[in-house]
Homo-oligomer: A and B are copies of this chain.
Amino acid sequence: MPERLGSGTLRLSGGPWVSGWASSVGKKETEGPLGGLFDQCHTDDSLGQQSWEKAESLLLKEAAHLALRKAKVRPEEIDCVFAGDLLNQCAASVFGLRGLEIPFLGQYGACSTMAQTLAMAAVFVEAGAARRALAVTSSHFCSAERQFRLPLEYGGQRTPTAQWTATAAGALILSGDLPAGTSQGIAVRDVRFGQITDLGVHDAANMGAAMAPAACRTLCGYFADTGASPQDFDLILTGDLGAVGSDLLRGLMLREGWDIAPVQNDGGLMLFDRAAQDVHAGGSGCGCSASVLCAAVLPELAAGRMKDVLFVGTGALMSTTTSQQGESIPGVAHLVRLVSARREEGTK
């Protein structure tokens, strides 16, 4: 059973174990600093499909199937899938997972969706509501540009604070037990769901600024509930604040008495080489932090090179309609603590 700490952080104790994970990415992501670490790399962002939306669905499907294969689990052994993406009505998730026959729970947290789906899957497994659960998300530069901004053919200029939506998907499988014969693994230890936080940022080309206050709030609540401090962690991985949002978050945290600069990094900064790849403030999109987590963080935890990581997914909860109607951009941030852990004898 999850234990409630303080103002609402949930501490999990039955694992839950990350028993498989995978990432699938596009061309620009393959050419970036993490290019050698992804499970599946595409040189053609259309993936041979007739639309960008179909390409994104396939990317998400690939990540899910690869994670299943790596975990040596068949789809019918998964009790539910938590999935979401940026497309209207979560279409990439629906159409990507349509053939899997797993009970489907669509989630929407904008770019925080990987943290949200992972946290939901962990709570369900901890509670015994699922023996195994799948968490998966995606984004695609081309489907996002035309839905949220402008058709690609228009060739619009981007502002310096803008982020580049990653063409990427990531999938994780949570299990109630480690594989037979294994005593060491990656466990989800803590989960914290964030409140909607809106300080009135209106610039849809500066998502980092809109999301940083939500990340600050979630982190401060977590430190207060647990007595932990930034130096307890090998990495605080935010995703995806980019350069502008990361700077803001570090400053906001300093004002609250926490120096996270030595351990904070951001999925949007890790995925691309900002100097060489013309992504302005960095990467973004549900698939950005998802693929960075799967490619660059989970293997470090599995190998024991990292022991304790806070993953803070951040989302900007606007739509084109709300922005056109003059609304500000509400942010949200969900936190998941991942630890390299040994299963105690006699416990599951």
A→B interface (CB under 8 Å): 1-4, 8, 10, 50-51, 53-54, 79-80, 84, 86-91, 94-95, 97-98, 100-110, 116, 120, 123-124, 126-129, 131, 147, 192-196, 198, 317-322, 325, 327, 330, 332
**B105 adjacent to A106 (CB under 8 Å):** no
Q: Is the interface of A mostly helix, strand, loop or mixed?
A: mixed
The count of identical subunits is 2
**B51 adjacent to A193 (CB under 8 Å):** no
What separation, in Å, do the CA atoms of A322 and B89 have in the docked complex? Answer: 10
B contact residues around A105 at 8 Å (CB): 107, 109, 116, 120, 193
**A330 adjacent to B94 (CB under 8 Å):** yes
Q: Which residue of B lies closest to A332 (CB)?
A: B104
What separation, in Å, do the CA atoms of A82 and B102 have in the docked complex? Answer: 21
What separation, in Å, do the CA atoms of A1 and B127 have in the docked complex? Answer: 6
**A194 adjacent to B95 (CB under 8 Å):** no
Which 8 A-B residue pairings sit nearest by Cβ, starting from the closest?
A127-B127, A106-B108, A103-B193, A89-B319, A94-B317, A88-B88, A91-B319, A88-B319
B contact residues around A116 at 8 Å (CB): 105-106
Q: How far is the CB of A322 from chain B (nearest CB, A)?
A: 5
Known contacts A95-B322, A95-B330; A108 and B110 CB within 8 A of each other: no
Known contacts A88-B320, A89-B88, A91-B322; A196 and B104 CB within 8 A of each other: yes
Q: How far is the CB of A230 from chain B (nearest CB, A)?
A: 22
Across the interface, A108 reaches (CB within 8 A) one of B2, B4, B108, B325, namely B108
Q: Which residue of B lies closest to A90 (CB)?
A: B108
Q: How far is the CB of A21 from chain B (nearest CB, A)?
A: 22
> Can you report 21 A-B residue pairs in the complex whose CB atoms are below 8 A from each other?
A1-B127, A8-B103, A50-B325, A53-B321, A84-B108, A88-B88, A88-B319, A88-B320, A89-B317, A94-B196, A94-B317, A94-B318, A95-B327, A98-B196, A100-B196, A103-B193, A103-B194, A106-B317, A107-B108, A123-B124, A147-B321
**B108 adjacent to A319 (CB under 8 Å):** no
Q: How far is the CB of A313 from chain B (nearest CB, A)?
A: 12
Q: How far is the CB of A152 from chain B (nearest CB, A)?
A: 15
**A2 adjacent to B325 (CB under 8 Å):** no
Q: How far is the CB of A1 from chain B (nearest CB, A)?
A: 5
**A4 adjacent to B51 (CB under 8 Å):** no
What separation, in Å, do the CA atoms of A103 and B315 have in the docked complex? Answer: 13
If A8-B79, A147-B321 are given as contacts, then 7 extra A-B residue pairs at C-beta distance below 8 Å, sorted by A number, are: A2-B128, A4-B79, A4-B131, A103-B195, A104-B196, A105-B107, A127-B129
Q: Interface centre among A109, A196, A330, by most B CB within 10 Å?
A: A196
Q: Which residue of B lies closest to A110 (CB)?
A: B89
**A128 adjacent to B196 (CB under 8 Å):** no
